[in-house]
Chain A
Amino acid sequence: MNADLRRERAAATFQTELLTHILDGGAERTRRRKEIEALVLNDPDFQHEDLNFLSRSQRYEQAIRKSALMVMKLREYGIADPEEIYWFKSFVHRGRPEPLDLHLGMFLPTLLTQATPEQQDRFFMPAWNLEIIGTYAQTEMGHGTHLRGLETTATYDPATQEFILNSPTVTSIKWWPGGLGKTSNHAIVLAQLYTQGQCKGLHAFIVPIRQLGTHEPLPGITVGDIGPKFGYDEMDNGYLKMDNFRIPRENMLMKYAQVEPDGTYVKPLSDKLTYGTMVFIRSLIVGDSARSLSRACTIAIRYSAVRHQSELKPGEPEPQILDYQTQQYKLFPLLATAYAFHFVGAYIKDTYRRISGDINEGDLSELPELHALTAGLKAFTSWTANAGIEECRMACGGHGYSRCSGIPDIYVTFTPSCTYEGENTVMMLQTARFLVKSYTQVSSGQRVTGMVSYLNDLSRQRIQPQHVAARTVTVRINDPVSLVEAYKARAARLVEAAAKNLQAELNHRKSKEDAWNRTSVDLVRASEAHCHYVIVKLFTAKLAEISNAAVRAVLTELCLLYALYGISKNTGDFLQAGILTDAQITQVNQRVKELLAIIRRNAVALVDSFDFHDVHLGSVLGRYDGNVYENMFEWAKKSPLNKTEVHESFHKHLKPMQAKL
């Protein structure tokens, strides 16, 4: 092991395993995770060449090979718990997407929730056995966010008892669904249902797209791959165009809405349940933000402990770059953020689990708040992680730019989560809608509960003709609980400001929609402040649950850094609302820098606790043993340009030119 890293690890003030257990949710879960990890890593079937050297087509091929094996082996090993499946899959695919993602993650679950028993008989087992490979085709070329605007049509023909599917315009071509381009032979297609001459809105249909056996597209179906992307090389995101393509009436998913043989439309009872799936998937993205940022931090921090450059003290050897304040200032707040997001992800997952129990018993009362909160947190965490991953890469200097660092791949794989499952700005505005609604309730004398209960303080405030935040919060900058109060006051102030601006626009007799649009920048800021508050609050609350004193101490330092760094990056909000004074801001900035120096000694141990296996990390810079330079050389030798010593373009272009000039 590299001597610098050994020294870093020896100097840590806590046991890394204990923190790993906390992140995993207990020692037993850590053990099981590693057991599954070993199952994959020791399996020769899952070995392959470094993906960085493969073409897109080869990467797809590797992914599909591994996916096919994975499905078999999961069943062979009897792994059925969703979280264990998730681990297995992410070890097999090393945290990357794969062509069966949509089949496993959307096609099968949608059959379970929206198909009638008869449809389940027909489709579920063949799909389970991969005779049918399906995808979920919702987004169109011209429509993503605004679902009601989708243009694909499904027109019922009572004469033949069939639906006729059409893509009437270029913009209506289904575009982006994963696994659609090359892999799937079926798709669940979302289309506008027309029956008896009336449009009944969006419904889901099971559409066969390729011939079983030959895998050729069926007549009336045009299907293909949408071409190269920023990342997701292993995924065949596809397009689908349908021309008068007929499917039997029984292929509409009819557990809720139905079309009877004569074309009579029967309305669904409630559509609130689809809420649940959205909350679940967005909560996964929060966890994914934490993991992706953790991986990038692991790489950047280990490398910064191995890399030496310049001089700090004249005459002394070159220091580790981790000793530079500017480097610490780039990396440690991100490390703290990664921890914060882990705890937030776990909180949402638990809350969802708890509430979904209530939902099954018909109690939907907590769902709107959770839905609003998850939308905002999905946006907040994915935006932050997205920028943070890039920050980590930049902190690795030139070598971060090489694919051997692994960070470019983490970034391009992660960055679409700012867009999919709800574009982030749109998500923030959904949260804002809930915040404004809560504010309005409070204004009209009602009380609100949950994470927005701080808005209740407004009613007390109303007696005095003052800004809500003008009340003095005595902030103690070394006390996380007190900092939670500061964040709370900031959120309250920004929610109030946005709500008042919205009201002012309405008073200028703007239409509701126009007023909303003209206030949307303020509204997004209010949502961000709310989410920021929630995260600081949850991180702080987590500290009380930690029994080991050494671990609690180091997590408290991280929590303080997270909260104080957030203030120092948004000083304007805290100053303008009078929550903190100039002098306090100066103290906060100073304290941030002191914390950097304190966290420095545990930095490597803190990323070790994330416990990413080298194979999973996929980075030469971030290797556990720190032997960076030797392995960069070994890696480069495998580059495709090095396959022959003299490249063919020498004979084709260079030599003739030299002869001519």
Chain B
Amino acid sequence: SVNPDLASERQTASFSVEKLTAWLDGGVEQTQLRRAVVEAIERDPVFSRENQYFQSQNERYEAAVRKAVHLQKKMQEMGWSENGPEFKYIYRAVAGDIAFLLHRVFMRSVSMLGSDEQIAKWIPLASQYQLIGSYAQTELGHGTYLQGLETTAVFDVTTQEFILNTPKISAMKWWPGDMGRSATHTVVFAQLYVHGKCYGIHPFIVQIRSLQDHSLCPGIIAGDIGPKMNFEHVDNGYLMLQNVRIPRENMLNKFCEVQPDGTYVRRGSQKINYFTMTLVRISLISGEAVLPLMKACTIAIRYSAVRRQSKLKPGEQEAKILDYQTQQEKLLPQLASAYAFHFIDNYLQELFNRGYREIQRENFDTLPELHALSSGFKAMVTQHCTSGVEICLRACGGHGYSLLSGLPSLYTKIIASCIYEGENTILLLQTARFLIKCFMAASTGQPVPPSVIYLAAAKPGNCPAKNKLDFLHPDIYTEAYQHVAVRLISSTAAKLQDLIQSGVKKHDAWNRCTVQLVQAAKAHCHYITVKNFAETVEKIETKAGIQKIMKHLCDLFALYGIFSNTGFFLHDGYLSGAQMDMVTASYLDLLALIRKDAVPLVDAFDLTDKSLNSALGSYDGQVYQRLYEWAQKSPTNKQISPAYGKYLKPLLHNRLSKL
């Protein structure tokens, strides 16, 4: 039975939850498909995550391998394929708790970087799991700066082989997933040397473990890099190469080749690789950032409707903590952000599909814009979602700290997304570089890509709002965001130029402006997110109260951003102090308004209890019973602690005898 405190929240929903779910999924058919996949996976006991919180690193790894193997079987059984419409839901349903994800990256890199012969040789082996692949790029001493990698591959003309080496400790490959224990092969990125000349970083297929008994190949030292904050199921590994020889044909040579005599040949455009990088960044936004935030919001908001603490009015029952303004102010902006980022993900996907079509026609014009957007949004969304999950965790008080709440593992997993596929600060600086360039172009009247046209059309003036209701007009707040973005970008550009003109070297000037550049890039992404949210709301055709509640969320998202960055908006007087008070008033009003629909709004994410894996966040709201039941299953309760017999008892007895 559903806890009455949750049931009552659902009775008063101002919109149809089912219709909102379908709209978020992109149609009723998608919802059906998703539910079918999720159900097939969750019903299968092999994919159970029931005891996950009690497992050791070793057990988690073994389970991930077991699940990965089983998934192959399952996909055959269900007729699912890697290219099928189900695939995006499968990973979501297994909650990423699965091995061999790098195997897929291995296959993708062979397909992208390999010649037709290489593809014909390796891909069938890989898809049959006759080998297990990994992707070894990062080293102990190098992550961000690829040109700095230190692994070497020296071509030996006499034997027609490359000799791979790890010349020093910092050159050891470090972090690649699936490499610590599972992989038999890996794509190693190394500095290519031919006849003593360095040609830069190239990819090589290297076998690291025997296909017979899985023991390490000669010259290979590899292992697991040890415990991390999360990803305990993944065997992130290290790899040291000592005079490892591989045939010439193992260099992936679609774009560059070393010919038998040592001649180095370059061919074709590598721009397509650039596109892959941006694609990876975009594709992680939905599954690795927005979904965890949706889960965290679901857990925290349902729990806040069940948890009662203190009294709002003397003599009454203790109040739901969701009724406290401070609790609303923690959770509801996160909820609005989850929606905002879901919509920005749609926007980016669309943009990329369009870009991809152009690129297939060998038109690379959109690439710089796509790259800038993917970098900036990857950084912005992962950062916001990470802090959102953490806010949800802390909003659940003591019980949020229990692993059984599901929140700590959501948090420790999502924080990794701020680093992998490009460290966020570095990515924001890449976006900033694009913005500065476009700003310069726009100010000299040259054409600029669509997402930055506003830089050319900026108009002076102040915010025209007269009362707090004016701040519920999307035009008013979107323009405010635009104004701030333009101001931060133009003032940083001016600062850069001043420095350069005063004789500071270009790179030095850049480093001295990086703090501002990061702010400018964030402001740009924030503006686009707000604008896109408003436009999405505008376009909603579904009835059933959805447009109205989405409008409230959009307003909340926008005003929350102003409320928490007041200085940016007040700085040049665009908003006056009095207007800022109106923003605050409108913002606080919205909290109380959205509070009424908070539970239906998380229900609409349609996350199953199994996918939440949380004692606090289940649909039925039976929080305390579940917490008690789950705790009893903890291994620590299955036996009297050995520590008592070993340490406590002797101590006590020793004491007793002296007493």
A binds B: yes
The stretch of B52-60, B253-261, B370-378 in contact with A is B52-60
Taking each of A170, A181, A307, A312, which has the highest tally of chain B beta carbons within 10 Å of its own beta carbon? A170
A residues less than 8 Å from B310 (CB atoms): 145-146, 149
A356 on the interface (CB 8 Å rule)?
A: no
Q: Are A171 and B624 in contact (CB under 8 A)?
A: yes
A472 on the interface (CB 8 Å rule)?
A: no
A60 on the interface (CB 8 Å rule)?
A: yes
Q: Are B65 and A145 in contact (CB under 8 A)?
A: no
Q: How far is the CB of A260 from chain B (nearest CB, A)?
A: 31
The stretch of A85-93, A437-445, A647-655 in contact with B is A647-655
Query: B219-231, CB under 8 A of A: which get 1 and which 0?
Result: 0000111111100
Q: Are A570 and B515 in contact (CB under 8 A)?
A: no
Q: Are A629 and B643 in contact (CB under 8 A)?
A: no
Q: Are B570 and A517 in contact (CB under 8 A)?
A: no
**Shortest Cβ distance from A631 into B: residue:** B169
Q: Are A129 and B659 in contact (CB under 8 A)?
A: yes
Separation of A572 and B170 alpha carbons in the complex (Å): 45
Q: How far is the CB of A618 from chain B (nearest CB, A)?
A: 13
| Residues B108-129 near A (CB distance < 8 A) | 128-129
Separation of A425 and B310 alpha carbons in the complex (Å): 13
B467 on the interface (CB 8 Å rule)?
A: no
Taking each of A143, A323, A412, A572, which has the highest tally of chain B beta carbons within 10 Å of its own beta carbon? A572
Contact (A65, B646) CB under 8 Å given A57-B641, A129-B659, A131-B656? yes
A276 on the interface (CB 8 Å rule)?
A: no
B325 on the interface (CB 8 Å rule)?
A: yes
The stretch of A154-162, A536-544, A552-560, A636-644 in contact with B is A636-644
B357 on the interface (CB 8 Å rule)?
A: no
Separation of A126 and B659 alpha carbons in the complex (Å): 9
Q: Are A520 and B325 in contact (CB under 8 A)?
A: yes
Name B637's contact: one of A224, A330, A418 (CB within 8 Å). Answer: A224
B140 on the interface (CB 8 Å rule)?
A: yes
A residues less than 8 Å from B72 (CB atoms): 657, 661
Query: B301-339, CB under 8 A of A: which get 1 and which 0?
Result: 000000111111110001000011111011000000000
The stretch of A226-234, A289-297, A346-354 in contact with B is A226-234
Q: How far is the CB of A82 from chain B (nearest CB, A)?
A: 23
Contact (A324, B571) CB under 8 Å given A68-B647, A225-B636, A629-B169? no
Contact (A513, B313) CB under 8 Å given A144-B398, A575-B567? yes
The stretch of A194-202, A393-401, A476-484 in contact with B is A393-401
Q: How large is the interface on B (under 10, 10 to 19, 20 to 34, 35 or more residues)?
A: 35 or more
Q: Are B640 and A215 in contact (CB under 8 A)?
A: yes
| Residues B515-544 near A (CB distance < 8 A) | 515-516, 518
Q: Are B403 and A641 in contact (CB under 8 A)?
A: no
| Residues B569-587 near A (CB distance < 8 A) | 569-573, 577, 580, 584
The stretch of A48-56, A243-251, A263-271, A367-375 in contact with B is A48-56
Contact (A633, B140) CB under 8 Å given A641-B58, A657-B72? yes
Q: Are B170 and A418 in contact (CB under 8 A)?
A: no
Contact (A576, B566) CB under 8 Å given A146-B309, A226-B634, A636-B224? yes
Q: Are A324 and B514 in contact (CB under 8 A)?
A: yes
Query: A490-516, CB under 8 A of B: which get 1 and which 0?
Result: 000000000000000000000101100
Separation of A641 and B224 alpha carbons in the complex (Å): 6
Contact (A645, B216) CB under 8 Å given A572-B566, A573-B566, A633-B238? yes
The stretch of B36-44, B411-419, B442-450 in contact with A is B411-419
B residues less than 8 Å from A632 (CB atoms): 140, 174, 225
Q: Are B214 and A641 in contact (CB under 8 A)?
A: no
| Residues B452-500 near A (CB distance < 8 A) | none
A residues less than 8 Å from B571 (CB atoms): 571, 575, 582, 585
Q: Are B505 and A313 in contact (CB under 8 A)?
A: yes
Separation of A314 and B390 alpha carbons in the complex (Å): 39
Separation of A521 and B559 alpha carbons in the complex (Å): 15
Contact (A182, B398) CB under 8 Å given A309-B145, A639-B225? no
Contact (A309, B143) CB under 8 Å given A65-B646, A575-B571, A658-B129? yes
Contact (A183, B648) CB under 8 Å given A419-B397, A521-B588? yes
Q: Are B326 and A57 in contact (CB under 8 A)?
A: no
**Shortest Cβ distance from B634 into A: residue:** A227
A residues less than 8 Å from B397 (CB atoms): 144-145, 419, 423
Query: A570-584, CB under 8 A of B: which get 1 and which 0?
Result: 111111111000100
The stretch of A11-19, A104-112, A402-410, A609-617 in contact with B is A402-410
Contact (A636, B226) CB under 8 Å given A171-B624, A649-B65? yes
B62 on the interface (CB 8 Å rule)?
A: yes
Separation of A404 and B228 alpha carbons in the complex (Å): 8
B residues less than 8 Å from A68 (CB atoms): 647-648, 651
A209 on the interface (CB 8 Å rule)?
A: no
A residues less than 8 Å from B215 (CB atoms): 645-646
Name B314's contact: one of A323, A513, A521, A645 (CB within 8 Å). Answer: A513
Query: A514-527, CB under 8 A of B: which get 1 and which 0?
Result: 10011111101000
B365 on the interface (CB 8 Å rule)?
A: no
Separation of A329 and B513 alpha carbons in the complex (Å): 11
Query: B60-102, CB under 8 A of A: which get 1 and which 0?
Result: 0110011001001000000000000000000000000000000
Q: Are A649 and B648 in contact (CB under 8 A)?
A: no
Q: Are B226 and A52 in contact (CB under 8 A)?
A: yes
| Residues B385-415 near A (CB distance < 8 A) | 390, 394, 397-398, 400-404, 408, 412, 415
A-B contact count (CB 8 A): 358
A residues less than 8 Å from B584 (CB atoms): 522
A528 on the interface (CB 8 Å rule)?
A: no
Q: Are A641 and B181 in contact (CB under 8 A)?
A: yes
Q: Are B588 and A518 in contact (CB under 8 A)?
A: yes
Q: Are B655 and A129 in contact (CB under 8 A)?
A: yes
B residues less than 8 Å from A629 (CB atoms): 140-141, 169-170, 172
Name A518's contact: one of B325, B655, B659 (CB within 8 Å). Answer: B325
Q: Are B403 and A227 in contact (CB under 8 A)?
A: yes
Separation of A335 and B89 alpha carbons in the complex (Å): 44
Name B312's contact: one of A513, A585, A649 (CB within 8 Å). Answer: A513
Separation of A227 and B229 alpha carbons in the complex (Å): 18
Separation of A27 and B600 alpha carbons in the complex (Å): 61
Q: Are A641 and B61 in contact (CB under 8 A)?
A: yes
**Shortest Cβ distance from B230 into A: residue:** A401
Separation of A170 and B632 alpha carbons in the complex (Å): 13
A221 on the interface (CB 8 Å rule)?
A: no
B11 on the interface (CB 8 Å rule)?
A: no
Contact (A653, B53) CB under 8 Å given A636-B225, A639-B224? no
| Residues A49-102 near B (CB distance < 8 A) | 52-53, 55-57, 60-61, 64-65, 68, 72
Q: How far is the CB of B573 from chain A (nearest CB, A)?
A: 7
Contact (A514, B312) CB under 8 Å given A312-B511, A423-B397, A639-B226? yes
Q: How far is the CB of B36 from chain A (nearest CB, A)?
A: 25
Q: Are B398 and A227 in contact (CB under 8 A)?
A: no
Task: Enumerate chain A interface residues (CB-CB to B < 8 A).
Answer: 52-53, 55-57, 60-61, 64-65, 68, 72, 126, 129-131, 133, 139, 141-146, 149, 170-171, 173, 175-176, 181-183, 212, 215-216, 224-231, 236, 239, 307-314, 318, 323-326, 329-330, 390, 394, 397-398, 400-404, 408, 412, 415-416, 418-420, 423, 425, 429, 511, 513-514, 517-522, 524, 570-578, 582, 585, 589, 593, 629-630, 632-633, 635-642, 645-650, 652-658, 661
Query: What are 22 A-B contacts defined by CB distance under 8 Å?
Result: A64-B647, A139-B398, A143-B309, A170-B628, A171-B624, A175-B627, A182-B636, A226-B631, A227-B630, A227-B636, A307-B141, A402-B228, A419-B400, A630-B169, A633-B140, A636-B225, A638-B226, A640-B58, A641-B224, A647-B62, A653-B66, A657-B129
Query: Besides the contacts A215-B640, A648-B62, what 14 more A-B pairs have beta carbons closer than 8 Å?
Result: A55-B56, A57-B642, A61-B643, A72-B651, A176-B398, A229-B408, A324-B514, A326-B425, A397-B423, A423-B397, A521-B329, A575-B570, A629-B141, A654-B182
4 A-B pairs with the lowest CB-CB distances in the bound complex, closest first: A572-B566, A571-B567, A641-B224, A639-B226
